[in-house]
């Protein structure tokens, strides 16, 4: 029988080291800055100071940047689930770069490592490596959600992403990540001013369309790393020890990446939500782009392959 999922890679030989203090400070700013904005927004909402323009700007930019992460960073660059024309490739990666989650090269390198060492030593953000006690499980969950960002493993880009390093557009976009962070906050502020013509509108756009939008999207991405390896269903067989699960509660926030079990069973598929009522807006976006001939070589799921994975799970469970 042909093996559908590659065997787990050998344990890494390079241990994680603590990054320089300056890098940790930048990471803290990128993570806790939006958190501070979310707290301010909660106060403003309690005082009924959020306007319709604030919320619309936040929602639109959330959808744009979220699909940039899911379609651009994740399915296109990391897993090569489809090929895109140059302008579309740049647009998707640029949209993802506005999410305050790092440049595309480092993001993709970490994620490929995650798939190579899922939930074993070497996984950058497994929640299952801190022991089985209650304290260990809590520590593991916090590590998977956000803690790992402050002590990531070596990126080893030449090892994990040689194909992406050969793309000059991606290299430039990655190097300009600090600029994209500035744009990510300035754009909603300018939109708020353009819509309302007031400083109040500009500040509201910055707060809701900038900081709050970034905070919620970050938490959705972090939850895929943590919650989707702790809770949910596993209808498809993955490699032994791989705890990737489907968590329906994240569907609207993670744009389909929450159907994490199938993704780990068959990582290169362009669609992650394949069962009834499994909303996967990223797959719909890819389908639209394919119809417009803007993307090609899309790896759509095949029914026989999916049913084979289900049968293997059932057989394994019965035996």
Q: Is 192 exposed, middle or buried (0-12, 13-18, 19+ CB in 10 A)?
A: buried
Stretch (H or E) spanning 84: strand 83-84
Whether 89 is in a domain gets the answer: yes
Whether 104 is in a domain gets the answer: yes
Whether 288 is in a domain gets the answer: yes
Interatomic CA distance for residues 35 and 290, integer angstroms: 37
pLDDT at 44: 79
Whether 37 is in a domain gets the answer: yes
- Report how many domains make up the chain: 1
pLDDT at 18: 60
Whether 14 is in a domain gets the answer: no
pLDDT at 262: 96
Q: Which residues of the chain have pLDDT under 50?
A: 1-7, 13-15, 316-319
The values of phi and psi at residue 234, to 5°, are: -130, 75
Whether 184 is in a domain gets the answer: yes
Measured between alpha carbons, how far is residue 223 from residues 145, 231, 244, 254 in Å?
6, 11, 12, 9
Tokens of 76: 């296109």
| Three-state DSSP state, 89 | helix
For tokens 């100071």, the residue is 49
Interatomic CA distance for residues 95 and 206, integer angstroms: 17
Whether 146 is in a domain gets the answer: yes
List the domain range (segments joined by +) for residue 103: 21-231+280-301
Q: List, for residues 227-257, the tens digit of each pLDDT value.
A: 999 999 999 999 889 999 999 999 999 999 9
Q: List, for residues 150-193, the tens digit of each pLDDT value.
A: 888 887 999 999 999 999 999 999 999 999 999 999 999 999 99
pLDDT at 17: 57
- Enumerate long-range contacts of 102-105, CB under 8 Å, 24 or more apart: 102/177, 103/173, 103/174, 103/175, 103/177, 104/72, 104/73, 104/77, 104/164, 104/170, 104/173, 104/174, 105/155, 105/157, 105/161, 105/164, 105/165, 105/170, 105/171, 105/174
pLDDT at 95: 98
* Residue 1 DSSP symbol: -
Whether 68 is in a domain gets the answer: yes
pTM: 0.90
pLDDT at 34: 87
Query: Residue 12, CB half-sphere, CA atoms under 13 Å: how many?
Result: 20
């Amino acid at each position: 029988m042909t093996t559908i999922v590659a065997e787990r890679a050998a344990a890494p030989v390079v241990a994680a080291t603590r990054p320089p203090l300056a890098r940790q400070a930048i990471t803290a700013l990128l993570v806790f800055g939006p958190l501070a904005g979310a707290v301010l927004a909660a106060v403003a909402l309690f005082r009924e100071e959020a306007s319709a323009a604030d919320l619309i700007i936040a929602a639109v930019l959330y959808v744009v940047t979220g699909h940039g992460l899911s379609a651009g960073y994740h399915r296109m660059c990391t897993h090569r689930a489809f090929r895109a024309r140059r302008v579309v490739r740049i647009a998707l990666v640029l949209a993802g770069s506005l999410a305050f989650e790092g440049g595309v090269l480092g993001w993709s390198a970490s994620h490929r490592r995650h798939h190579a060492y899922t939930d074993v030593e070497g996984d950058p953000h497994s929640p299952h490596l801190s022991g089985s006690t209650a304290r260990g499980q809590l520590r593991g969950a916090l590590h998977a959600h956000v803690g790992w960002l402050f002590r990531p493993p070596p990126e080893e880009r030449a090892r994990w992403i040689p194909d992406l390093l050969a793309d000059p557009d991606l290299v430039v976009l990655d190097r300009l990540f600090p600029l994209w962070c500035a744009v990510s906050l300035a754009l909603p502020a300018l939109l708020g001013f353009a819509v309302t013509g007031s400083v109040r509108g500009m500040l509201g756009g910055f707060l809701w369309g900038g900081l709050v939008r970034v905070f919620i999207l970050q938490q959705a991405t972090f939850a895929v790393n943590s919650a989707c390896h702790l809770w949910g269903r596993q209808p498809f067989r993955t490699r032994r020890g791989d705890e990737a699960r489907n968590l329906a509660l994240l569907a609207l926030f993670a744009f389909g990446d929450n159907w994490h079990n199938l993704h780990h069973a068959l990582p290169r598929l362009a669609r992650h939500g394949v069962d009834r009522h499994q909303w996967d807006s990223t797959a719909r976006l890819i389908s639209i782009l394919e119809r417009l001939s803007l993307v090609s070589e899309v790896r759509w799921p095949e029914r026989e392959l999916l049913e084979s994975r289900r049968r293997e799970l059932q057989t394994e469970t019965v035996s």
